[in-house]
Structure formats: structure tokens, C-alpha cells
């Protein structure tokens, strides 16, 4: 049986791609079945158009889990967009090292490094949402349209706004704990197929009683 995750264009059009199959940057890791849809630009250029200020000198990673849905125009903003606030000036002198007689090895002092962006599994990121550096988004979370996420998002939370704030939880805490323990996104392909009805209809109790 052919597993569709191995293709680039799962829907047969050229607007939606499985990201794992088009990303080449070693500092970007994407899980199985995660897709990106772009009806404006070429979705295969995700690294160029959507992962911004992601320079190798900072050694930051973008880690995206399995079964995530990323809508058109979502952006991931890294450290080099974040001029340091420890200086008296916001001007990034170290990136113009020759002009100011500075040592190029200190270029990272131009920015306040807040670290990796980590997206869990089964996360839905809405249209033109922005995820800032250092943020971790938990499994099953939903990021609203044009939200700007500056802080960590708990598992199965729905957030929106600028800056993004929690609107509500998708499930009660007991169900969230069950889903976290279940981790269905790590199941093999055939097991997921067997339980698609339960997953799609929200029958978590049917799965846990397997």
C-alpha cells in the first residue's frame, strides 16, 4: 500500500505540500504528515518565505511535530529580528563589524537570543499567524488567524489576538491528559487508519478502551 505522506503534493494541486518532503535546512525538523497550504506563493519555498531571520550563526532550530496544519502566510520569526535591549542603542552595530572596527565573531551580540521554536503534534496554525522566537506550542493547540504568539501555548489550548492569549481549552483537563498519554500521532499508519472514525468523531474513550 502506498502511504501518501511520501508525496510532496497530497491533494494533487500545487498549493498544499507535506513540509517534511520539501524542507532542506538541517535546522528545521518537520514530522510526518504535517502540511502547509499557500494560495499566494509557492508552498515549496516555505523556508524562504515563512521562516524568517533564521541565520545559521545563531544555531536555532524550528521543530514542528506530526499532523500539523499550517495555513497560508504563517510566519516563524527568529532571533535576528530581535535587536538587543541590553545595549543603549537598538542599532545592531555587530552586524556591521568592519564599519565599526568590531570582531565578526561577536556578531550574535546584536540580538537577544531567545532560542528554538518548538511546535507540538496535531497543532493548527491559522492564516498569517506569527510565532516568535523561543516559543513552545503544545500538542493539539490552535493558533487563531493573525495571532502573534510571544509566549508558550499549553497543549489543546486555543489562542488568538495580539499578543496571543488563551481563549479556552479544547477539552477538559482530564481529556487533555488522556490525549497526551495516548499520543495517537506516534501510532503506525495502519493503526491510525483503523481508528480514524474515533479520532475524527472525538471518541477518545473508544480508543483508550481498545
Q: Is 152 in contact with 163 (CB distance < 8 Å)?
A: no
3-state secondary structure of 70: strand
Q: What are the E-state strand segments in 65-187?
A: 69-70, 75-77, 117-119, 124-125, 130-132, 136-137, 142-143, 148-149, 157-160, 165-169
Q: In what order do the strands lie in the sheet with 136-137?
A: 28-30, 62-64, 117-119, 136-137
Beta bridge partners of 165: 160
Pairing of strands 16-18, 75-77: unpaired
Give yes or no: 83 in active site: yes
> What are the φ/ψ torsions at residue 173 (nearest 5 degrees)?
-60, -35
Check residue 8 and give left, alpha or beta (phi > 0: left; psi -120 to 50: alpha). Answer: alpha
Pairing of strands 16-18, 35-37: antiparallel
Q: Is 19 in contact with 30 (CB distance < 8 Å)?
A: yes
Catalytic sites, residue numbers = 83
Amino acid at each position: 500500500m502506498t502511504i501518501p505522506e511520501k508525496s510532496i503534493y497530497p491533494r494533487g494541486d500545487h498549493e498544499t505540500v507535506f513540509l517534511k518532503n520539501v524542507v532542506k535546512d538541517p535546522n528545521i525538523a518537520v514530522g510526518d504528515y504535517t502540511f502547509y497550504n499557500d494560495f499566494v506563493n509557492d508552498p515549496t519555498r516555505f523556508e524562504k518565505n515563512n521562516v524568517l531571520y533564521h541565520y545559521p550563526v545563531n544555531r536555532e532550530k524550528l521543530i514542528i511535530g506530526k499532523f500539523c496544519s499550517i495555513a497560508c502566510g504563517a510566519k516563524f520569526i527568529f532571533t535576528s529580528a530581535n535587536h538587543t535591549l541590553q545595549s543603549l542603542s537598538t542599532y545592531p552595530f555587530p552586524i556591521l563589524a568592519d564599519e565599526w572596527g568590531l570582531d565578526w565573531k561577536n556578531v550574535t551580540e546584536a540580538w537577544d537570543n531567545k532560542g528554538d521554536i518548538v511546535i507540538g503534534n496535531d497543532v493548527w496554525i491559522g492564516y498569517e499567524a506569527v510565532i516568535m522566537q523561543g516559543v513552545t506550542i503544545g500538542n493539539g493547540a490552535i493558533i487563531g488567524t493573525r495571532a502573534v504568539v510571544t509566549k508558550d501555548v499549553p497543549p489543546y489550548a486555543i489562542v488568538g489576538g495580539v499578543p496571543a492569549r488563551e481563549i479556552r481549552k479544547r477539552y477538559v483537563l482530564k481529556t487533555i491528559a488522556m490525549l497526551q498519554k495516548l499520543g495517537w500521532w506516534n501510532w503506525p499508519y495502519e493503526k491510525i487508519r483503523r481508528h480514524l472514525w474515533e479520532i475524527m468523531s472525538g471518541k477518545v474513550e473508544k480508543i483508550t478502551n481498545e
